[in-house]
Amino acid sequence: MPLFDSLKPVVAQWTARYRRSAIPAFLAWWKAELVGCLPPKWQVWFQDRRETWFAVLDDGQLRFQKEGQAEPFARFELGGQPDDIVRADVNRLLGAGPSPERRLLLAAPSTAVLRRSLQFPVAVEPNLRQVLAFEMDRQTPFKADQVHFDFQVEPLPGGKQIRVDMALAPKPALDAVVERSRALGLALDGIDLTGGGAAPVRQGFNLLPESQRARHRDPQRRLNLILAASAVLLLVMVMHQSVANRAQALEGLRAQVEEARTEARAVVALRNQLENAVNGAGYLAARKGTVASVFRVLGDLSGRLPDDTWLERLTFRDGNLEVAGQSSESTKLIALLQDSKVLVNPAFMGQISPDARTQKERFTLGARYQLRPGADLPPEPAPAAPEKPADDDKETANADAAAAG
């Protein structure tokens, strides 16, 4: 597909960078350390338990050897019997098809393999296969379409150059060996060099084209997929539960905040009431300290007005006093009230007029009643509690006495 084709260079570039980095070595070391902490019986589960078998075709024989073992564990003669019989014997040995417990490699004929060691800049590593194919006719006697090749990369000190160890074999010779192996029932995983010794050892190459390699059916793949799906499902459930727990905690915090807010509002209301009460009490105290009471005003007037003066009307309104009455000499009243401790700015209101009936002068004067600064007045007497008369005669006597007064 075009999309995957466009992603291949990017994937190859990142894969090359990953291989050049120290991450693979670190992960391998980390895995080894973690596995080493496990009991020996458990360590087996984390090891590569696949055996490597080498199939060797030479001298009219088909031999099977395990990696690192010089003696073959199975040998079949090819010249004296038909391939079908050999194929049946091989199938009994190997089983029907590839096995996930082993890796079957064909030992490449040493006479048919050519190796070259080359150096390239690090920048060409993502496209190294294309570069080697382009350089094939310059570095070898063959062209790229005439050989099967594989390579290994080793970074050089400095990080700017890489060493490429390339192994290649002509297609006709290698294809003939592959066809012969298939005819004998071999499902090959690859073609590798054996190191030249009696005990074959993998060299890390695979000259078999990827399209011709055996396809293994891993019996644990389904289990791994189920475990992976279960892990993803559990992860989603844990994340969902975490979000739900956070939402529940948030709702609880909101309820606590709302409760605290309600309590704070109640406290603010109580504080406002207290402040209003304190301000009201202070206002009343200040008012009481600056404004004279009616009793003090009446007492002051009674002490300053002469005996030939009587009052007909007293009006108290917003700190102002209006006095209406009669006096023999009304003009002297202002002077008498100037020294008052509770009356301020006494003055006549309107004209003084004579009263023909009483032979006195009718007047109306006004003043403000308040305590002057520095006024030292005796405290007001507390009003006497009313006494309950003993009988009706006493009530009548008190009423008569009040009327006479």
Please give the residue that has the higher pLDDT: either 363 or 112.
363
The CATH fold assigned to 48-217 is Nucleotidyltransferase; domain 5 (3.30.420)
What is the band of 318 on the pLDDT scale with cuts at 50, 70, 90? confident
Residue 317 DSSP SS3: strand
Greater confidence (119 vs 1) lies with: 119
3-class DSSP string for 272-294: HHHHHHHHHHHHHHHHHHHCCCH
Q: Distance between CA 353 and CA 361 in Å, rounded?
A: 6
Q: Which CATH superfamily groups domain 294-378?
A: General secretion pathway protein M, EpsM (3.30.1360.100)
Q: What average pLDDT does the segment 285-294 reach?
A: 62
Give the mean pLDDT of the chain. 81
CB 132 within 8 A of CB 152: no
- pLDDT the model gives residue 286: 65
pLDDT tens string 115-127:
899 999 988 888 8
How many C-beta atoms lie closer than 10 Å to residue 57's C-beta?
17
Lowest mean per-residue pLDDT among 98-107, 116-125, 136-145, 304-313: 98-107
Q: For residue 54, give the nearest of 37, 69, 44 by alpha carbon.
A: 69
* Local confidence band at 394 (pLDDT 50, 70, 90 cut-offs): very low
Neighbouring CB atoms inside 10 A of 105's CB total 24
Of 302 and 254, the one with more pLDDT: 254
Instruction: Determine contact, residues 320/368, Cβ cutoff 8 Å.
Output: yes
Q: How far apart are CA 129 and CA 330, in angstroms?
A: 133
User: Which tens digits make up the pLDDT trace of 194-217?
Assistant: 877 778 888 888 888 888 888 766
